[in-house]
């Protein structure tokens, strides 16, 4: 076995084998978990389950309120967090000068990205539910999840903006463009594929969050469709948590079905993000 142009030493072989074993173990665990979910939840992939309402009888229970609740939450989270995150990243990279303030903000931003999600749930409970009196509503849940993923969107957008060569900006200024024109016509278009990728990954995390919403007091049993921003709600992760915590095996199968649908939604969202990124990159390359 060769690594580069040099024969592998015994230490390199041991390290390579260790990496291979760990990777294989992780992939095997993942395949077993996904396989168990598919085997148990595939039978629930039908219109009755998708369009049904929760019920005390497992065979009659459905996920429509949870599915719509997740859709409302993700839509609002995208509307709130992505524009604020991208504009913050532009301010960091294009306007804020290097110095102690920028270093301090950078450290705080990275720290916030690693804070456990349940902490954001407690913050959302105090600020949005109690202080702003939004109640245990869709709007309060969306704002809380927006706080959770906002640092991730900002960091990913900053990395994408940094990838734009400085020569592009200098050429724009040399042609008489203003700072705003350079950002709008050069920086944003060339960094957009990376921004979209980072935002999609952040939203994918948001889809699967349950702990912050449970802290807010999101309902585990909702037998109606949310009808507004201030309506009580539930989401797919919370509904799955409710079912999996019950002792009846039939509800465990329902939970597997909800998890499987959640995985399918994640795959769809990520696939759309990849397609949009590839299309934008192709357009930039042709341009």
Per-residue pLDDT of the chain (287 residues; tens, 9 = 90+): 555 555 558 888 888 899 999 999 999 999 999 898 888 888 888 888 888 888 888 888 889 999 999 999 999 999 999 999 999 999 999 998 888 888 999 999 989 988 899 999 999 999 999 999 888 899 999 999 999 999 999 999 999 999 888 888 889 888 888 889 999 999 998 999 889 988 988 998 898 888 888 888 777 778 888 888 898 888 999 999 889 888 888 899 999 999 999 999 888 888 888 888 888 777 776 55
Phi, psi at 275, each rounded to 5°? -65, -45
Which residues, at least 6 apart from 206, have a Cβ–Cβ distance to it below 8 Å? 73, 74, 77, 145, 148, 149
Q: Are strands 2-3 and 6-7 parallel, antiparallel or unpaired?
A: antiparallel
- Residue 190 in tokens: 């060339």
Residue 2's SS3 state is strand
d(CA 70, CA 206): 9
- Residue 72 in tokens: 């409302």
Which residues, at least 6 apart from 185, have a Cβ–Cβ distance to it below 8 Å? 172, 177
DSSP codes of every residue in 104-130: HHHHHHHHHHTS-HHHHHHHHIIIIII
Fold category of 60-286 in CATH? MetI-like fold (1.10.3720)
Residue 217's SS3 state is coil
């Amino acid at each position: 076995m060769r690594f580069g142009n040099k024969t592998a030493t015994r230490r390199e072989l041991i390290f390579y084998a260790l990496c291979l074993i760990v990777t294989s173990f992780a992939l095997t665990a993942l395949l077993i978990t996904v396989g168990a979910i598919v085997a148990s939840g595939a039978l629930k992939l039908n219109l009755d389950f998708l369009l049904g309402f929760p019920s005390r009888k497992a065979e009659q229970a459905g996920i429509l309120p949870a599915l719509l609740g997740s859709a409302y939450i993700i839509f609002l989270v995208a509307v709130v967090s992505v524009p604020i995150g991208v504009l913050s990243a532009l301010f960091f990279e294009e306007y804020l000068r290097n110095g102690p303030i920028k270093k301090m903000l950078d450290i705080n931003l990275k720290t916030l990205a690693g804070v456990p999600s349940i902490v954001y749930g407690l913050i959302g409970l105090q600020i949005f539910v109690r202080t702003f009196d939004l109640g245990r509503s869709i709007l309060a849940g969306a704002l809380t999840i927006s706080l959770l993923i906002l640092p991730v969107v900002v960091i990913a957008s900053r990395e994408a903006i940094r990838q734009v060569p400085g020569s592009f900006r200098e050429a724009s200024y040399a042609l008489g463009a203003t700072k705003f024109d350079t950002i709008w016509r050069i920086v944003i278009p060339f960094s957009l594929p990376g921004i979209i990728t980072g935002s999609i990954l952040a939203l994918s995390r948001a889809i699967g969050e349950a702990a912050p919403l449970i802290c807010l007091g999101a309902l585990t049993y909702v037998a109606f469709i949310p009808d507004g921003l201030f309506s009580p709600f539930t989401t797919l992760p919370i509904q799955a948590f409710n079912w999996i915590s019950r002792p009846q095996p039939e509800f465990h199968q329902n939970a597997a079905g909800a998890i499987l649908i959640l995985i399918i939604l994640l795959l769809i969202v990520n696939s759309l993000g990849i397609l949009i990124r590839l299309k934008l990159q192709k357009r930039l390359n042709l341009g």
